[in-house]
Structure 1
Amino acid sequence: MTLAAGCVSVPEGEKSLTDLPIPRGWAEHAAAKPVADSDWVVSFGDASLTELVVLALRENRDLGKLAARIQTAEAEAVIAGAAGRPELDGGLRSSRSQSNFIGLPGTNFFGQVTGQPGAVLSSLFNQFELTLNLRWELDIWGRVRAGQAASLERLQASRCDYEAARLSLAGQTARTWFQLAAAAEQARLAEEALRIFLETERVVEDEFQEGIRRPGRDAGSELSLARVDVANARAALAVRDADLPRLRRRLEVLLGRYPQGAEAGAEGLPALPGLPAAGLPAELLERRPDLMAAEQRLAAADHRVMEAKRSLLPAISLTSAYGTSSPELSGVLNGDLVIWNLASNLAQPVLAGGQLRQNVKARQADVDFALAEYEQTVLNAFQEVEDALSHEKFLGGQQGATAEAVRMAEEAMRRTRSAYADGLGDVLSVLNAQQRLINAKSALIEVRRQRLENRVDLHLALGGGFGEGKPESHLRSAGKM
């Protein structure tokens, strides 16, 4: 699978292990050879479908939201990375203060003693400082590095979420396209059914008008039955015609367009492509982006535990300042008035109301949650593959039986029509044969659609990709990414 940059599995040495049993092969027997890294949409051989999927991946608004989340995660990762670097800032400080002196005689400008002993004398001071200040927390215990690692894992998870959404969107677009193609075939079949029933009604009505009477048959009743089937065929056609604009609007929303129901669909369902290799269950963990995202979140939660534990240890930081100090503002640029300081600080948490230790417990609970979520996601993924493989076999048998039913229904209709034309049958047999044929053809269209959609589900369950995701293509604001 071609994943977006950054959507990669956690390295084996860093991965939190799960005790889930992973079988050596699928319960529903399938080819165990490696899954080919190819664009599965192309395998359906429909250029229009491929173009629509590309368009949806570029214009879909839900995908755009996830692209914005990646940008947020990238910024947060940069912020976390800055925590381990020295902080440097410049400052210009000014102050004015008054000091009082008690018990000392004062002097005036000419040096003459003024005031009485014991009097309170005041003096005003101005101070201007221009400094560069440096602060650096020494990450001796790895607390900052753990936070950085957690932020990077969350960033990787957001990229995998984006890739999983791309995969899901491609599947939704393909399924909607197949539904639209099937609806077009069903609409044409409904038109065909209406023509057949109208023709039967015309034949019966002509006989009724001509006064042709056949033994044991009521021409009026037969005409009424024929007209009932015509009315039902008109109603069925109306339903099929309503399906088309509804599905077109659904497709347009996926493409990021206004849902006006104008998007043209396929004229018919494409042929079913060959069955892809399913690979091995263990390989699924390295292919599906949703599993990778859950794995990255588990790793991030584990790093947060380490960060919380390291917060219990002393924090060591270095601070320094360099600049000038003067009683006059003009003196701050005087190199002879330099001041500087260098200091270190050791801070050990002593009393924080139990917050730090409870934070450790909370982060450990987050790990338990992430592990359970990861394991459930893995189980769901295995189920999706097994279901798709099972449905593949079931639907294949169903399509074969339905195709045989269509063949037999065509033969039955041919015989009943021939018998009716020879005056040996009744119109009810003809109407029933016609309806059975229409139903069988409709069922065949439906099972063909189901097989195509199930093939899409199988590709998605196996983590099949469709090109490389570029989140920045969804960020429309100027200057983004």
Structure 2
Amino acid sequence: MMKNSFFYVLVSCSALTGCALKTPPGWSDILTDRAKGKIPDQWTGTTQSGPVVPNWIRGFGDPRLTKLVQQALERNPDLVAAAAKVEASQAAVRIARAALYPRVAGGAIGERHGRELSGDLGLGLDAPNLGGLGRGVETAGADTRSIDSSSQQWVYGLGIGASWEADVWGRVRNKRAAAKSDSEALAADYEFARQSLAAQTARAWFSAIEASQQAANARETLSLYDDFLKLFEVRKEQGVASDFEMAQVNTRVAGAKDVLHTAEGAREQAVRAIEVLVGEYPAGNLKTSSQFPSLPRNVPAGLPSQLLERRPDVIAAERRVAAAFHRAKEAKAARLPRFALTATGGIGSAQLDGVGALDSFMWTLGSSVTQPIFFGGELKAVEDVRKAEQRAAMAAYTGTALRAFEDVETSLTNERTLRLREGVLSEMVTASGETVRLSRDQFDTGKADMFVVLRLSGESLAAKIQLAQIRASRLRERVNLHLALGGGFSAEKSDK
């Protein structure tokens, strides 16, 4: 009868543990109605139709940039640390999953016992019992009375035990599901870190090219100023030029030198940033290009709603909502009864020298039910904490999703604005360059003043600086758009 009852308990608990967990809310359930109702069918900015294209870094057609990004993905210390966190989270999932299975442990004992008696021997008195000073092993030795003055014995034993908690209410499974969701969130964070690292490397590369062009423009203008400075020095010796005029020329020369030094410093800073990103010492020795790569055509942006299912940081926020959901369920289940099964067994032997041995085999099977009764409100407080964390995670998801939409819309708007500005500044640079050329021709024929040429040369330098800034900004904004869309890419192994 007892065997049948035990079997019934075991089967009942196993059946209950098979109940499926509740599904955590998806993005359509997490977003507020106001935010969800405002998602348009198409982006407001101008885009190319079609799905988001991966491997966007190759779209710039710059092999050196592609190689730098590959090196950064392989060597960057921060990315390596992020990958290790993902690996640790996967191990945490296995730890949480282990609680679903029985726990089995074994043990062995081998001891030598001895006793020396003195006093009223032969009177049959019991020897003093010192209790569990050691392992608390109870032996079956005879000779516990004061007949012999000494005795020695060996005690051997092997045992094994197992215990299993029936996950009736899903507490352990929710704990495992929360750990799995956390791991998936970290994996999404890692992917977003990869894309962000690639974007950061590309932006630094374009900034280095921009600084190189600014330095080249400054050197060209400075060369022109130096020619006029030498001419003014000759004229001053001849008494034709005044100190006031010389001071004006020197001012423009100093201004061009300042532009040059600023550009060279900006280039060194960008180069060191790239070297750190690829895991190298920031020595500033990286060779950069002097020309911008061609800007790829308009980027296919997909549909706004698809962004929530593709962009890694949004996916990570959604997985954290799922983790908080399962932790709330785990905390609720912790207030309900726990059902456990235990089983132990073992063999032992006690051998008294010169007398004999006593062998034994023991086993136990048991089940228990534990119901929390009074914990000072701790369990209810834990449940309240988990529910609050779930609400916080849902609010954080909404914020992350809205910022993702903002990133895309802002990048699309900036693309259009920067494209228009580049067209205007290109015309300005062409016109100002022609103006400087004509003014120099007029100066050579005595029809124009030298300071007119200097002023027009300064305006031409300013226009060239602005044009280089806009071109670099367009490239960086294109990188921002790719990052905002979450297109992703795969990188091949590079030569280390």
The answer, yes or no, to whether TM exceeds 0.5 is: yes
1:224-283 Cα offsets, whole Å, 9 max, x none, are: 322322222223222222222222111111111111111111222111111201211101
In the other structure, the counterpart of 2:17 is: none
The CA deviation at 1:75 is 1.3
Q: Which of 101, 115, 138 pairs up with 2:166?
A: 138
> Which of 448, 451, 454 does residue 428 from structure 1 map onto?
451
| In 2: Cα distance, 1:358 partner to 1:469 partner | 50
Q: Distance in 2 between matches of 1:310 and 1:186?
A: 65
Structure-1 residue corresponding to 2:3: none
Match of 1:185? 213
Q: Does residue 193 of structure 2 align to residue 165 of structure 1?
A: yes
Amino acid at match of 1:133: G
Q: Deviations over 1:417-476 (max 9, x none)?
A: 222222222111111111011111111001000000000000000002121799xx9xxx
The equivalent of 1:154 in structure 2 is: 182
Shift of 1:180: 0.5
Residue of structure 1 aligned with 2:103, choices 66, 87, 101 = 87
Residue of structure 2 aligned with 1:70, choices 76, 86, 92: 86
Task: Indicate conservation of the 8 Å contact 1:163/1:469, yes or no.
Answer: no
1:400-421 deviations in whole A, cap 9, x for unaligned?
1111111221122122222222
CA change 1:426–1:337 in 2 (3 A) is same
List aligned pairs for 1:317-328, cutoff 5 A: 317-328=340-351
For 1:54 and 1:292, how far apart are their aligned partners in 2? 24
Report SS of the residue matched to 1:285.
Answer: helix
* 1:339 Cα offset (Å): 1.2
**Structure-2 separation of matches of 1:292 and 1:165:** 13
* Residue deviations 1:164-203 (CA, integer Å, cap 9, x gap): 1001000000000000011111111111111111122234
- Residues 121 and 259 (structure 1), Cα distance of their counterparts in 2 relative to 1, 3 Å cut: closer
> Which of 13, 17, 34 in structure 1 is aligned with 2:50?
34
Question: 1:404 aligns to what?
Answer: 427
- Tell me the alpha carbon deviations over residues 92-125 of structure 1, each in whole angstroms, 9 at most, x when there is no partner: 357999xxxxxxxx995xxxxx46xxx8765795
Give the corresponding residue for 1:17.
30
Residue type at the aligned position of 2:226: L
Please identify, of 66-75 and 42-51, the stretch whose mean Cα deviation from structure 2 is larger.
66-75
Would the alpha carbon gap of residues 196 and 403 (structure 1) be closer, same or farther in structure 2, given more than 3 Å must change? same
Letter in 2 for 1:86: P
Whether 1:457 and 2:480 are equivalent positions in the alignment is yes
Against the structure 1 CA distance between its residues 138 and 167, is the aligned structure 2 distance closer, same or farther, given a 3 Å change threshold?
same
In structure 2, distance between residues paired with 1:278 and 1:31:
6
Contact kept, 8 Å, 1:35 with 1:276, in 2: the verdict is no
**CA distance in structure 2 between the partners assigned to 1:441 and 1:384 by the alignment:** 29
Unmatched segments (≥5 aa) in structure 1: 1-10, 98-105, 109-113, 474-481
SS in 2 for 1:389: helix
State the AA in 2 paired with 1:182. E
- Cα displacement (A) at 1:24: 2.2
Equivalent in the alignment of 1:45: 61
Q: Give me the whole-angstrom Cα distance separating, in 2, the residues matched to 1:28 and 1:82.
A: 50
Gaps of 5+ in 2: 1-22, 114-119, 131-137, 140-154
Task: Tell me whether 199-208 or 366-375 shows the greater mean CA deviation.
Answer: 199-208
Following TM superposition, by how much is the alpha carbon of 1:30 offset from its aligned partner in structure 2, in angstroms?
A: 2.7
Amino acid at match of 1:226: V
Q: Is the 8 A contact 1:30 1:278 kept in 2?
A: no
**2:318 counterpart of 1:290:** no
Change (3 A) 1:153 1:328: farther
Q: 1:340 aligns with which of 356, 363, 378?
A: 363
Contact 1:322 1:339 in 2 (8 A): yes
**One-letter code aligned to 2:177:** A
CA contact (8 A) 2:161 2:342 kept: yes
Q: Of 347, 357, 373, which residue of structure 1 is paired with 2:380?
A: 357
What is the distance in 2 between the residues matched to 1:314 and 1:156? Answer: 31
Q: Distance in 2 between matches of 1:329 and 1:182?
A: 92
Cα RMSD after superposing both structures: 2.8
Name the CA distance, whole Å, in 2 between partners of 1:399 and 1:385.
Answer: 21
**Percent of residue pairs identical:** 36
Change in 2 beyond 3 A, CA 1:329/1:197: farther
Aligned to 1:111: none
Q: Aligned partners of 2:492 and 2:294: how far apart in 1? A: 28
Kept in 1, the 8 Å contact 2:349–2:358? The answer is: no
Code of the residue aligned with 2:434 in structure 1: it is E
Do structure 1's residue 195 and structure 2's residue 218 form an aligned pair? no
**Secondary structure of 1:135 counterpart:** strand
* Matched-pair contact (CA < 8 Å) for 1:321–1:340: yes
Distance 1:160 1:466 in 2: 14
The answer as to 2:270 corresponding to 1:254 is no
Structure 2 residue matching 1:286: 3-state secondary structure: helix
Which residue pairs with 2:394 in the alignment? 371
2-structure distance, mates of 1:404, 1:329: 109
- In 1, are the aligned partners of 2:350 and 2:359 still within 8 Å (CA)? no
What residue is the counterpart of 2:116 in the other structure? none
Provide closer, same or farther for how the CA distance between residues 89 and 226 of structure 1 changes in structure 2, counting only shifts above 3 A.
same
Residues 416 and 71 of structure 1: CA distance in aligned 2, closer, same or farther (over 3 Å): same
Residue in 2 that maps onto 1:3: none
CA distance in 1, matches of 2:311, 2:396: 15
